[in-house]
Amino acid sequence: MSSTTRFDVYTFATIHASRGIWIILAINSLDSFAYFSTSLNMTLFLTDSLGVSDARAGHVYAARGVVSSFALLVSGPLIDRWGAHQSLAVGASLVAAGRVAVVFAHTNWLAVTFFITVLQSIGAAFMGPALAICIRRGVSSSAWHPAAYALFYSTMNAGALAAGTVTDILFRTHASAVAPFVGAALASIAALTIVVVFPVPAAAATTIPSPDNTSHSPVARSWRDSVRHLMLDTNAWLCVGFMTALFWIRTPFMHMDATFPKYAERVFGHSVDFGLLYAINPTLIIVGVPFIQSYVVRFDMYAVITTGTVLAAISPLAVAVWPTYVAGVAAFMITLSLGEAIYSPMTYTYIMALAPVGREGVYATVSAAPSIVGAFIVGSMSGHLLADYCPAPDPRHSPLDDAIDPRLHAYQCARIWIVVAALAAITPFTLVLARRHLYPASVRDRCQHRHSETADSIDVY
């Protein structure tokens, strides 16, 4: 393989990416900015501005995961039935409506909770899988799918980087606490406008292969038939098992939304730039994913994914080792980002390699369900971890009444990240123990064929 393989994402972006792909990437960036602006500020806003307790704010985060899970179960067959473009329009409309509603109802925590956990979650259940399907169908050759997903993943993190940066700017300028949600609403309106005005690569499949080797029109198949065929589809269950194994490695990322903002303020003070620390992850992903994925494409996919999860799992321990230093958080984010850049983009390739044309919606939503369920567990844990290990100071008492050594307080709070690391370690252990079941010969051959196609196509340029 020639040295030009390191730049396959650049080659795809400059030569092979169609106008429709760039439209999808623009929508993805805007939606990502809106999503991360909401997630990064949600629990902090509920507690600091609306007086909601740590535990209850965590339960709100958990409720969003529950609603998202149920929405995904319904949206998958509907996406295949309606088509990616119509599903994208429905999802973008619901998400935009939910984020605008939060701005106007920001003084009522129950209303904020409803619009974030229900309306936005239902919209995201249509929008996210539809974007992934558009990326797959907008690429002319399957050899370029890994490069397309790497670019898709990088633009998603560009939105996250912008969200972290804007959050810090707003906090430094003492802007209104609702300002991040205003930005999220404007980004969602822009994304919806692009969906409505510009065409996207969402051509529907003509037939859908089923377990009985017959073909069905995606439009003719009812939601009940889609569910029945899904239950009989071994590849779909393989995706569920694979993503369930990866669920625990997603918990550090979820805690960056649900737990980290409060942790950073309580350990390092209100002047800490937690948005800047948060932005380390998307910055390294944007820069690192194209080069890392171009290099690791030559290795066995499953081994690469396992290696990446090991790095991500041990990353929270950096905070426990250096709890009194912001550098400990930076080391955590750098190691986590490296692991993510190695394993995460390949999960798209794994799932879409198994998904038959015309049934990508079902596969995308079913495979995402275990990670969304994780939001319920993380949300439930987050509030209690903060309350037990890193509680907020009681405003009714003088600071002298509860004087505590800041170093001791930092070490006590760092126990949160030891718990997070222990849970994240479940993923690499599961991947090693279940390799024979999650990566059988049929899947391995298909993925290796996809990788060899990519290498051969890259060497041409």
pLDDT by residue, tens only, the chain of 461 residues: 333 333 455 555 544 556 777 888 889 899 999 998 888 888 888 887 888 888 788 888 778 877 877 787 777 778 777 877 888 899 999 999 999 999 998 888 888 888 888 899 899 888 888 887 777 666 665 556 666 777 777 788 888 888 888 887 887 776 677 888 999 999 999 999 998 888 766 543 433 343 344 444 444 455 555 556 666 667 777 877 888 888 888 889 888 877 888 888 888 877 777 778 888 888 888 888 777 877 887 788 888 899 999 999 999 999 988 988 888 899 999 999 999 988 887 887 777 677 666 666 666 666 666 666 666 777 778 888 888 888 876 554 444 445 566 778 888 888 999 999 999 999 999 999 988 888 877 777 766 655 555 444 433 33
Tokens of 348: 């798209």
What integer pLDDT is reported at residue 219 of this predicted model? 42
Give the C-alpha separation, 167 to 184, whole Å: 11
Q: What is the pLDDT of residue 17?
A: 53
User: Do the Cβ atoms of 32 and 157 come closer than 8 Å?
Assistant: yes
Residue 358 lies inside a defined structural domain of this protein: yes
Q: Give the pLDDT score at 109.
A: 85
Which residues, listed in sequence order, are joined to residue 216 by a DSSP beta bridge? 208
Does a structural domain hold residue 207? Answer: no
Where in the sequence is the domain holding 40, given as residue range(s)?
3-202+218-388+403-459
398 located within any domain: no
In a domain, 263, yes or no: yes
Domain count for the chain: 1
Looking at residue 63, which CATH number applies to its domain?
A: 1.20.1250.20
290 in any annotated domain: yes
3-state secondary structure the chain: CCHHHHHHHHHHHHHHCCHHHHHHHHHHHHHHHHHHHHHHHHHHHHHHCCCCCHHHHHHHHHHHHHHHHHHHHHHHHHHHHHCHHHHHHHHHHHHHHHHHHHHHCCCCHHHHHHHHHHHHHHHHHHHHHHHHHHHHHCCCCHHHHHHHHHHHHHHHHHHHHHHHHHHHHHHHCCCCCCHHHHHHHHHHHHHHHHHHHCCCCCCCCCCEECCCCCEECCCCCCHHHHHHHHHHCHHHHHHHHHHHHHHHHHHHHHHHHHCHHHHHHHHHCCCCCHHHHHCHHHHHHHHHHHHHHHHHCCCCHHHHHHHHHHHHHHCCHHHHHCCCCHHHHHHHHHHHHHHHHHHHHHHHHHHHHHCCCCCHHHHHHHHHHHHHHHHHHHHHHHHHHHHHHCCCCCCCCCCCCCCCCHHHHHHHHHHHHHHHHHHHCHHHHHHHHCHHHHCCHHHHHHHHHHHHHHHHHHHCC
**What pLDDT does 138 receive?**
61
User: Is position 66 within any domain?
Assistant: yes
Q: Is 212 inside a domain boundary? A: no
Neighbours of 237 (CB within 10 A): 13
pTM of the predicted structure, to 2 decimals? 0.72
pLDDT at 318: 93
Examine residue 8 and state whether it is found in any structural domain, yes or no.
yes
